[in-house]
Every structure is written in structure tokens, then in C-alpha cells.
Structure 1
Amino acid sequence: MESITRQSVRLCPFINKTASSLRNVQTLQQSNMPLLAQKCPFMGQAMQKAHLATAAAPEAARAPSDTGASSQASVQDSMMAEHGTKESKFDYDGLFEREIQKKRTDKSYRFFNNMNRLAKEFPMAHRQMEHDKVTVWCSNDYLALSKNQQVVDVMKKTLDKYGAGAGGTRNIAGHNQHAIRLEAEIAALHKKEGALVFSSCFVANDAVISLLGQKLKDLVIFSDELNHASMIVGIKHASTTKHIFKHNNLEHLEQLLASYPKSTPKLIAFESVYSMSGSVADIGKICDLAEKYGALTFLDEVHAVGLYGPHGAGVAEHCDFEPHRKVGVASPSFATTMDRVDMITGTLGKSFGTVGGYVASSSRLIDWLRSYAPGFIFTTSLPPAVMAGAAEAIRYQRSHLDLRQSQQRHTAYVKKGLADLDIPVIPNPSHIVPVLIGNPDLARQASEILMDKHRIYVQAINFPTVARGTERLRITPTPGHTDDLSDILLEAVDDVFNTLQLPRVRDWEMQGGLIGVGEANYEAEPNLWTEEQLQLTNGDLHPNVKEPIFDQLEVSSGVRV
């Protein structure tokens, strides 16, 4: 009883106010506590519930007892019930199952294939069993540099000398000569004052965009509707005003920009090559708009670095191909398209064959990001061997124009072969070959038939990576996908279309067309690489691109004053 009394003082405002001490409560118990309790808005309600419950019980079930004691017991029991919980915990597993079932129902559930790419048999890979080999046609290892012997040798030597890991963040564990060299190579590639390496380009995009939104008061972000998820997440984390402009629609972009004073801080976020459609942004015209309306430009070159420009710096370099080719690692005498872009992000995990991401920009902006971006400060550095390999890959591809040209020729061969078979390919001027299916379940089945029957791996691309109704197979040739392999692919894709009765170009035409396939009066853009550019040789590059020596970037370690 004494413990109940103590709880009453703690839980009931009425008793707590009436009895200032335990002794007073005990006195109330001996006198008229039930009467006083009835006046309490909390206890009175509890007593009334207890009384009704007692009155409803059968007479024979009531044990004879003192009325006062019974009332007190009912009050105590009721009070304890009010402050207890009879609810079960939230059904977490049920939520997870329902969400997964949604994806199974709409056919967007993803199956990951066990692919073990073989360095010495590129582009072959084995599945779970080593004898079960397939040809990979959807890797983003665009230049096959992941198996390049120079890159592999550098990584092996670095691994033996410096070990597997970096030891922590650069902020705590310090950085190393491999990070310093890599950032110097990246800055030189994009002809910028500085560069900063992140664990991935997803992290880089998120970190840069979100920090801009958090630090630039009243920033307005203008984002292309097909921007990558990493940019979308960065914009969300920026917690600022945003506008989505129609894909590559500069008129729409200008309308949005013009609705704000020039003094309002603005950021235009876009990509050079959009990986799922292969479409390409007009970087020069976007820079024109940025200068006209006082905006910064943020360009994601993830699917373009290594593949465009005389030295593999991306589409921004490709816009001024000849001037860059003639001066090599130096800068032309005028402000190039690449110069006009404020921030360029890229990846080390696609054309450069390793892993990681980066941003290249002015030394002041890089120092600011290095000092404030949580995605950089609080993330363990890339391993020394990875950074050494990435730097070697950048140096190697810079002087090997033939890699880019070979990739383009193989892409052109596949695109022409598919066109001859009336296979619908979403038109674009880049190296991406998106075969339109238009149905998630059929896209999955097409991928499975290619794998199981033809030993060819091409992953189906479904929502949310692409819009519903535009599902596709995404093919990416490399320098290793020779014409004989391409012929096997073409025959296999034709068989899949026949087996599943998938719509061909003529069928899309009858339906009015979709995203450039079968659309009347659609004007396809010319390929980014011209015939003249494809005829050049490595010897046509400036001699300074071979083994250039770059000074360490002061901003990589911190600018001393």
C-alpha cells in the first residue's frame, strides 16, 4: 500500500497538491481519502470506471469485503491500468514486406546477377560457377581500364608498399602522396585550379550541392528533370528553393531564371551525357544563360570523362576539341567551355576503371568544400592503391585517343546493326545504346532470355531509374567489344524480339512514337564525334600529354597564410 501511495503523490496532481509529504498522505488514508479522491478530475474518473465495472459484475462473484477497502483497491488497480500500455509494438517487418510487395507487383523489383568480370578475358565474366561464362554488354567500364596492365601494376606495387587501407579520414589520419597526385591529375585534366576526391561521385554531388544550399542564403537551384539521383538527393539536402526544368529545354530554363532578380544566388545543375537515354546537354548555351542571369553552373561529367575530348576530360572539353588538342595539357588563349563551367564532377569508377568521385573547380571553392563539406570531412579516404591506380588510368587515357575512337566505332556498329533489324533504339548522339522495350515485365524477360539462352548479360532498366512505360535494355560497347561479338549480340537481340513479340520501330510508328522512337519529323542529333576527329591518331596529340609533371596543389593540404 505504501508503494501505491508513493505513486499517487508522483502521478496524481490532486494528491500531490493536497499532501505535501508522505505523512500527510498516510493521514488522508486513515480518514477520508476516497471522498477526497472523488473530487480529483483524474482519480474521480478512474473511480467512476471502477464502480461501473463492479456494478456490472454478477452479485455472486463479489467477495464480501469492507466497502472502503474495496474502493481503494479499485482506485489503485484503475490507476495502474491507466498508466500502463496494452499496445503491441509497431509491425516493422510488415511494413518492409508490404513495400517490397509493391515492387514485385509493379514489376520493378530488382534481381542482382552474380557477375565476376575476368580481367584477362574481357569482356567475359563468370557467374557463380567459374565455368559458367557470359559476355558482359552493360558495364560502365567504358575503356576497359580496370584490367589495363599499367593500372594493375601500379595498384599492386602501391598495395604491397602501403597496405590495403588509408587509415581513416584525411582530417584525422592525414592524407598521402597518392591523394595529392590524384587531385593534381584531375585538376589538370579539367584545366581547373583545384580538385577534391570523394569516396564516390554520389557522395561528391550530394556534398557539394547540399553545402551550397546550406551556406548560400536564398539560393535557388534549377535542375534538369533527368538529373541523376545523387544530384536530386543533394538538392533535397540543400533545403532551399528549387525548380525542375524540362530535359534539355533551354527556353523553359530561361523562363525560370528570368523570374528572379540577377542578384539572387542561383545554381544550374545538369549533366553532360545522361546515362539512361544517351542525350547530351548544350553546355555552352547553359553557360550563356548562367552568365546572363548570374548563376553558378554545376556539371556532372560522370558518363563522359574518358570518352570525349582529345584528352578524355568530357563533353565540355569536346566542345573545343581542336583548341585543346593543339595545346595539350596547357590552356588555350581564350575562355573555353570547360573554363566557363564553375564546378565539374566526375567518377573514377567508370572510364577510369577504379572507384571514387571528385569535383574540380577554382582553388577557393575547393578549399571551401574541403573545410565545410561533411561528406568529405567525415568519410574515410580511398585506399592508397585505388588512388594510385586512378591517377595512372587518367594519365594513360590522356595520351590514348585511340581508346575513345575504338569505343565510338563499336558503338556506331551496334547502333547501325540494330537499326537494320528495326530494333527500337532511343536516338542520341553519344555512346549509350538504349533499346526501348516499354514494359517492365517484358524488359526483365528479355534480359533473362539473353542470359539463359545466349550467354549475354544486359540488365533491364526499370522504374525508378527510368519513367514507367519507357523501360529498356541499356547496351554499352567498349574497345573490347569487337565486331564478331557485336554480330552475336545483334542476332541474340533479334531472337529476343521475335520470341517475346516486342514492338519494333514500325510498331512504335503506328502508335505515334515514344521518346524519339518512331516519332514523325523527329530530327536526330549528329554524333558528338565527327569523322575528322575519328581519323586522328595518338601521334596527332601534343607531345606534352605524355608523362607530364604536375605541381602539387596547395589546396589539397590546406592553403597557408
Structure 2
Amino acid sequence: MKHLKAFEDALGEIHGEGRYRVFIDLQRQRGKFPKAIARFEDGEREVTIWCSNDYLGMGQDEDVINAMHTAIDSFGAGSGGTRNISGTTRYHVDLERELADLHQKEAALLFTSGYVSNEATLSTLGKILPNLIIYSDSLNHASMIEGIRRSGADRRIFRHNDVDHLRALLELDDPERPKLIAFESVYSMDGDFGRMQEICDLADEFNALTYLDEVHAMGLYGENGAGVAEMLNLADRIDIIEGTLAKGYGVMGGYIAGHETVIDSIRSMASGFIFTTSTCPVMAAGALASVSKLRTDEGRRLRSLHQENAALLKKKFADAGLPVMDSPSHIVPLMVGDPERCKALSDTLLFDFGIYVQPINYPTVPRGTERLRFTPSPVHDGAMMDELVAAILAVWKQLGLDKAA
């Protein structure tokens, strides 16, 4: 093959930095989450999953699964094409209506993933708004960064959650130019919240649009699971809300919600929407069932238990002297700070203790801040947590890692 050495060198560099990623073959078992079967070359063993983004276990929910069975029995497997040609079904329409109502917006638009919804929407906004300036939090997700890059708009990067820096950047620009502030509600690697109230105030002062990524909050916060904006009663001050159906809702897909004219413009102009085969009806049906269920008392019960378990695991880590990062959300990051030992810690937990948690290395996080990222769900219990802490302590000492001060 031509130029093969360039590919070999690229992989060699990743291996040399200790951040080569190996996929674990997991066989999840219906109704047994967070337990799964990991398949290795020398056999299989049961493991406990500690890093799933199916935060509430809705991918195993009976109502969701039954809705998906009904849809596939009625509609078949694929969607049949793009939404413009033959890929729109009753499930797509009903799900968009449900999501718009969830966020108290006029309309919503489905995409095949959260990555695509961010990339397609942000890149299209630059085409709709001439001379647009986009102000982006420095820790925004790669999909937002790529969408902003492709938008052709001028970019201003403000230091993470630093509203004083954001204000300074806004003050430097022409007040007549259109502006948009793009940020997240929950930053998934550190687990902190975006400073939504202050950003909305700045947006009002400088006549800027607001674009909020609620991906890691959907289903998990607010009375109806509509995210942090709902929890803070700020949804009406957010112009475009972007979310996913693949994390708290346990299925797959992404979406945006906002003013009907804004959503219709994105629908009509975003190449990432126009030229992509639509979400399969079975996925839309499952997502619709999940969104609907998490708006009920059962959803509120799951959210409460989820927060309790996250707080409990943080406390157990802290009591054991482990360097758990300060996080107000459901994300529980444990700082390691070295890519090779982070991977060694993850591997040893898996092979020796049946505990599955993946290392988080560069480029997902900056070099020197490598970590394990735990996401306890409502079905992780105290006994599982005690086993986890004991295993980490044993491997931590073996690897010569420092405990928290």
C-alpha cells in the first residue's frame, strides 16, 4: 500500500505516548445492567460496567425495548432514505414534537447523532448569519469545535467558564455584528456545570444568541428531565438547545430545539441533515418511549437515585483518600495524571477484578490530566462501590500512585 509508513508512524506515536485505545468486546445482558460478559482471547468473564453513558440504564428499560419491538415489527429495519426523500415516519414526527414540548420550544429537529447535530447546526449558522462571531468555551466538545470551524464565522475562544474573559471578548467586537455564545451545561470529563445564568445575562447585554449543548444532562436534570436549563428555569433564555438520545435516554440520535423559523432554516440548509439517511424508526420509537417515561414520576425517582449514588461514590473515594475531582454533577472523575499508569490501572481492574472502566487520555483531556471517569447509575449499589474502592486501592498502591493530599 502506498504511504503505509505514515500510518505506521502515526500509530507508533500513539503507542509511544501510552494512549493507544483497545476496544473491549462486551456482551450486555438484558435486565442485568451494569453486569456484562467481556470476551477475551482466552475466554469470557463477567464484569461490572462503571463507565457507561447510558446513565440511567434506559437502554435496558422494558418499556423502551417493547416500543422498539413494536416499531421494528411494524416498520421493518431501515428508514428508507433521507428525510427529504423517504426517511420520515410517524415516529420521527412524534419524537420531534415530544422534544419540542419537553424544552418548551416551538420545534425540534432530529439528527443521527449528537455529534452530527452540533456539527451540522453550528456550521450552518455561519452561512445564515453573515459576519457572525461565535464565542466558544475552551472545553466545548469536539463536535462543537468542528461545527464552528466549518461555519466560516469568526471565532473567539474564552477560558473555560470564565465569564469575565467572555465579557472582555464581547466588548472588543463591533456591537452591530451578529454574535452567538456556544457552551455546555455539563462538561463530561470534569463534571462541572456551565455558568448558564451569567452567560445568558451577557447574551442579553450584547444582543447575542445562545447555543447550549445539554448532551450530558438530558433525562438527568430538571423536573421533566429536560436538562440543566430546565432545572435552573433558564430554558426560555436559550435560543438553541442541542441534545442527545444516546446517553440519559439510552438509545441513539441527536437533535436541536428552538424557534420554528430557526429550526426550519437548519432543516432546509444543513448538509449534515439533508444528505444523511434518517434515524431508523426503531431508534426513534425507543427514544420516544424513553423521553416520555423520564417525564413521569418514575423518571423523577430514577434521577433522584442517580444523584444519590453519584454523591455516595464520591464520598467513598474521598474517604479512601483517592484523588476524586470536585464535581457537582453525576460525573465522578478520578485523577491519575499519567497515560501509561492510567491504562495500567484500567487494565488491571478489568483483568484481575472484573471492573470495567476505560482510561480517559489525550486528546479527550489535556496531557497530564489523564483520569478514570466513573458514571454510577441507579442500579449500582453500595456493595459494588465497596468492591470498586477496594480494588482501586490495591492497584493504586501496586502502581505507586499518590493519594489525594
TM-score surpassing 0.5?
yes
Matches of 1:503 and 1:235, distance apart in 2: 39
Decide which of 494, 511, 517 is 2:393's aligned counterpart.
494
Q: Which moved more, 1:366-375 or 1:213-222?
A: 213-222
Amino acid at match of 1:291: D
| Counterpart-to-counterpart distance in 1, 2:345 and 2:44 | 23
On the 8 A contact 2:355/2:388 being kept in 1, the answer is yes
- Map of 1:227-306 to 2, 5 A cutoff? 227-306=140-219
Asked if 1:361 corresponds to 2:275, the answer is: no
How do 1:151-166 residues align onto structure 2 when only pairs under 5 Å count? 151-166=64-79
Q: Superposition pairs for residues 276-425 of structure 1, below 5 Å?
A: 276-320=189-233, 337-399=234-296, 400-425=299-324
SS of 2:372's equivalent?
strand
CA-based RMSD of the aligned residues comes to: 1.1
- 1:172 & 1:151 partners in 2: Cα distance? 28
Contact 1:460 1:473 in 2 (8 A): yes
* 1:37-56 equivalences in 2 (<5 Å): none
Aligned to 1:443: 342
1:119 pairs with 2:30:
yes
Deviation at 1:269, TM superposition (A): 0.7
Which is richer in strand? 2
Query: In the alignment, is residue 95 of structure 1 matched against residue 6 of structure 2?
Result: yes
Q: Deviations over 1:457-499 (max 9, x none)?
A: 0000000000000000000000110111111111111112111
> What is the match of residue 75 of structure 1?
none
Q: List per-residue Cα deviations over 1:252-306 (Å, max 9, x = no partner).
A: 0000011112211111110000000001012111011011111111100000011
Please say if residues 263 and 294 of structure 1, whose CA atoms lie closer than 8 Å, have aligned partners that are also in contact: no
Q: Which amino acid in 2 is paired with 1:229?
A: A
State yes or no: 1:109 paired with 2:15: no
Structure number with larger C-alpha Rg: 1
Q: Could you report, residue by residue, the CA deviation over 1:11-65 in whole angstroms, capped at 9, with x for unpaired residues?
A: xxxxxxxxxxxxxxxxxxxxxxxxxxxxxxxxxxxxxxxxxxxxxxxxxxxxxxx
Provide the C-alpha distance between the structure 2 equivalents of 1:472 and 1:501, rounded to a whole number of angstroms.
15
Alignment pair present for 1:140 and 2:53 = yes
In 1: Cα distance, 2:202 partner to 2:143 partner: 24
- 1:339 maps to amino acid: D
Q: Report the identity percentage.
A: 46
Local SS of the residue matching 1:481? coil
Q: Residues 188-222 of structure 1, C-alpha deviation per residue, up to 9 Å, x if partnerless? A: 11111000000001000000100111232111111
Paired residues of 2:87 and 2:278 also in contact (CA < 8 A)? no
Kindly indicate whether the alpha-carbon contact (under 8 Å) linking 1:268 and 1:290 is maintained by their aligned counterparts in 2: yes
Separation in structure 2 between the aligned mates of residue 119 and residue 136 of structure 1, nearest angstrom: 14
Name which of structure 1's ranges 255-264 and 340-349 shifts more when overlaid on structure 2: 255-264
1:160-188, CA deviations, whole angstroms, 9 ceiling, x for partnerless residues? 11100100011011511100100011111
Q: TM-score, normalised by structure 2?
A: 0.97
TM alignment of 1:188-199, pairs within 5 A: 188-199=101-112
- Matches of 1:430 and 1:409, distance apart in 2: 11
Alpha-carbon distance in 2 for matches of 1:479, 1:118? 17
Offset, 1:235: 1.0
Q: Could you say which residue in structure 2 is the equivalent of 1:222?
A: 135
**Structure 1 SS opposite 2:183:** strand
Matched, 1:484 2:383: yes
1:465-484 equivalence runs, <5 A: 465-484=364-383
Counterpart CA distance in 1 for 2:87 and 2:303 is: 36
Aligned 8 A contact 1:460 1:474 in 2: yes
Separation of aligned partners in 2, 1:482 and 1:163: 38
Amino acid at match of 2:374: I
Q: Is the 8 A contact 1:208 1:373 kept in 2?
A: yes
Q: Counterpart of 2:340 in 1: which secondary structure? A: helix
Q: What one-letter code is carried by the residue in structure 2 that aligns with 1:156?
A: H
Per-residue CA shift, 1:84-143, capped at 9, x if unaligned? xxxxxx942111111111111111211111122222211011112684110000000001
CA contact (8 A) 2:348 2:395 kept: yes
State the distance in 1 between where 2:400 and 2:223 align.
43
More helix by share: 1
Q: Which amino acid aligns with 1:144?
A: G
Matched pairs, number: 401
Q: How does 1:28-67 map to 2 (within 5 A)?
A: none
The answer to whether residue 90 in structure 2 is matched with residue 177 in structure 1 is yes
Could you tell me which runs of 5 or more consecutive residues in structure 1 were left unpaired when the two chains were aligned: 1-89, 321-336, 507-561
Structure with higher RCO (Cα < 8 A, 6+ apart): 2
Distance between the aligned counterparts of 2:57 and 2:23, measured in 1?
Answer: 22
Q: Distance in 2 between matches of 1:91 and 1:248?
A: 46
After superposition, the C-alpha distances for 1:217-236 in whole angstroms (9 at most, x for unaligned) are 11111110100000011011
Scaled by the length of structure 1, what TM-score is found?
Answer: 0.70
Amino acid at match of 1:414: L
8 Å contact from structure 1 (residues 168, 381) kept in 2: yes
Report if the CA contact (8 A) 1:223-1:244 is conserved.
yes
* Greater displacement, 491-500 / 161-170: 491-500
Runs in 1 of length 4+ with deviation above 6 angstroms?
A: none
Cα distance in 1, alignment partners of residues 165 and 284 from structure 2: 40
Equivalent residue letter for 2:378 = P
Structure 2 gaps, min length 5 = none
C-alpha distance in 2, partners of 1:231/1:421? 37
The residue correspondences of 1:536-555 to structure 2 (distance < 5 A) are none
AA in 2 matched with 1:161 = S
